[in-house]
Amino acid sequence: MDRIDTRICLQILEAWQQLKSIIETYAASRNLTLQQIFVLYHLYSEDHILMGTLAKQLHCDASNVTGMIDRLEVTGLITRQALPADRRAKQLTITATGRELIDNLIPYLPAGLGLQKLASSEQSNLHCILAKLTS
């Protein structure tokens, strides 16, 4: 394990585990799952997504998304509408309550990951590097 790229990948995994733990705790306190938080986050970031597109973004089957959407719709966190041009296609929209739920989660993330340990310039550099890796 002498390669720097391998060490970086393992450190990213460790950071993900820390973030995942924070998100799971937050989700559980609101009777939600990690996957449901991901659905809400996707709609928070890019509202009015088709269910098929969301399934692709989440790397799961449309049938799995349907179950999650059913539960989120019942709780009033999202809405689902048929498109006039194709009634089989369903467009998803996050509600104000769903948006507020994600707004309340976001402040927990930097502290949970320990980003306050980094200087402002280090945070900027890390942001630029991660943007390159994820684009």
Bridge partners of 79? 93
**Model confidence at 96, in pLDDT bands (50, 70, 90)?**
very high
Tokens (6 digits) for 8? 């970086």
Structural domain count of the chain: 1
CA of 103: how far to CAs of 37, 70, 75, 131, in Å? Answer: 12, 22, 17, 22
Q: Residues 39-70: pLDDT tens digits?
A: 999 999 998 999 989 999 889 888 888 999 99
pTM assigned to the model: 0.84
Q: Strands 86-94 and 49-50: what pairing?
A: antiparallel
CA distance 125 to 61: 36
Structural domain of 9: 4-134
b/e burial code for range 55-93 (CB count within 10 A of at least 16 → b): beeeeeeeeebeebbeebeebebbbeeeeeeeeeebebe
Q: Residues 28-47: pLDDT tens digits?
A: 999 999 999 999 999 999 98
**Model confidence at 1, in pLDDT bands (50, 70, 90)?**
low
pLDDT of residue 85 exceeding 90, the answer is no
CATH of residue 88 = 1.10.10.10
pLDDT, average across residues 99-109 = 93
Q: Are 79 and 92 in contact (CB under 8 A)?
A: yes
Q: Are 58 and 38 in contact (CB under 8 A)?
A: yes
